[in-house]
């Protein structure tokens, strides 16, 4: 697990030159990259969501594209389009911005549901299909989507099928006073993103992603994950609980977290730490509970309190 821990520290220190005071959120983004998952950042404008994506891309040497979603955007603006070339007398595929390794889907909930659905195949299958022809996406592939709060004007709630494809959801929030002063100081002459260098080779990143699959998860911890997810499904305030994809997301992220901590095994505390980020956005509150201002976070906290925590066993050698 040494390579995972080393890469994690390198990327964390590098990105912290741009995003100050958000170590936990940077670690969550790194988890998504290591697990080859996707990340949804829900927050108000101007807190550094775009800079976080750019800094991660620069740190690992991945190609980066940004898609600014608007209500008039079409699916072909995301995936690409086939254009007839009069010289060659053939159709040529012009790839869209989705054909990159790290894609920032900025303000994804400002696009119409039809355009939002253009991301579904790319996020799940790592490919796009245009005019009946399938084009594979480069690995690693990470969609880092930002979303304004639903209460803001001009937004469309993401459909359940798309929200479920995001491995985690995080909130950046405003920086503390001292961190915000530090941010102003760093940008006195120019933006520090211009000086940010690559600190991890692509081969190292791929090796780290493989190493995570070797982290041991005891059957008791697996049962704890499933019991926790089942508790959300049976909760009286829930209309729709977490899906099996949620169980898998929690399983994968706990392995990555353990590796970042230098361990080759997962603890129940790792499950507790990542339960909200991996499960809360998948929950749909019942109408009666919504009137009482019950939140998905409260449901996850309640599930953690009522789900028995297992012991641990040493892996047989």
Residues 230, 222: Cα–Cα separation, whole Å: 12
Q: What share of the chain is helix, strand, coil (3-state, %, to 5)?
A: 50, 15, 35
In order of start, what are the domains of the chain with their CATH numbers?
Answer: 2-208 (3.40.50.300), 216-306 (1.10.8.80)
Q: Does the pLDDT of residue 43 top 60, yes or no?
A: yes
Pick left, alpha or beta for residue 262 (phi over 0 → left; psi -120 to 50 → alpha; otherwise beta).
Answer: left
SS (H, E, C) 47-77: CCHHHHHHHHHHHHCCCEEEEECCCCCCCHH
Please give the average per-residue pLDDT across 207-219, as a whole number: 92
Q: Which two structure tokens, joined as six digits, stand for 289? A: 């509970």
Confidence (pLDDT) at 194: 85
Mean pLDDT of the chain: 88
Q: Does the pLDDT of residue 116 top 60, yes or no?
A: yes
Confidence of residue 316 (pLDDT cuts 50, 70, 90): low
What is the model's pTM? 0.87
Alpha carbon 46 to its chain centroid, in Å, reads 19
Please give the average per-residue pLDDT across 56-77, as a whole number: 89
Residues 296, 302: Cα–Cα separation, whole Å: 10
Tell me how far CA of residue 245 lies from CA of 69, 80, 303, in angstroms: 26, 28, 18
């Amino acid at each position: 697990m040494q390579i995972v821990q080393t890469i994690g520290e390198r990327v964390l220190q590098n990105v912290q030159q741009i995003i100050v005071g958000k170590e936990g959120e940077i670690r969550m983004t790194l988890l998504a990259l290591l697990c080859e998952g996707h990340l949804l950042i829900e927050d108000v404008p101007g807190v550094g969501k775009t800079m976080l994506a750019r800094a991660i891309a620069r740190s690992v040497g991945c190609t980066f594209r940004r898609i600014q979603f608007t209500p008039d955007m079409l699916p072909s603006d995301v995936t690409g389009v086939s254009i007839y070339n009069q010289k060659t007398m053939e159709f040529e595929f012009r790839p869209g911005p989705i054909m990159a390794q790290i894609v920032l889907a900025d303000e994804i909930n400002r696009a119409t549901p039809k355009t939002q659905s253009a991301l579904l195949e790319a996020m799940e299958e790592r490919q796009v299909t245009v005019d009946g022809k399938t084009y594979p996406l480069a690995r690693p592939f990470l969609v880092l989507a930002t979303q304004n709060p639903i209460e803001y004007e001009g937004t469309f709630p993401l459909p359940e099928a798309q929200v479920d494809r995001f491995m985690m959801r995080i909130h950046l929030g405003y920086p503390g006073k001292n961190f915000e002063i530090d941010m102003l100081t760093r940008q006195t002459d120019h933006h520090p993103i211009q000086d940010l260098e690559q600190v991890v080779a692509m081969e190292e990143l791929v090796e780290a992603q493989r190493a995570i699959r070797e982290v041991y998860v005891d059957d008791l911890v697996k049962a704890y994950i499933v019991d926790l997810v089942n508790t959300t499904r049976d909760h009286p305030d829930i209309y729709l609980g977490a899906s099996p994809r949620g169980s898998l997301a929690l399983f994968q992220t706990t392995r990555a977290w353990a590796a970042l901590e230098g361990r080759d095994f997962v603890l129940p505390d790792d499950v507790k730490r990542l339960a909200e980020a991996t499960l809360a956005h998948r929950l749909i509150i019942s109408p009666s509970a919504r009137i009482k201002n019950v939140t998905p976070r409260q449901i996850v906290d309640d599930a953690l309190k009522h789900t028995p925590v297992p012991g641990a066993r040493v892996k047989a050698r």
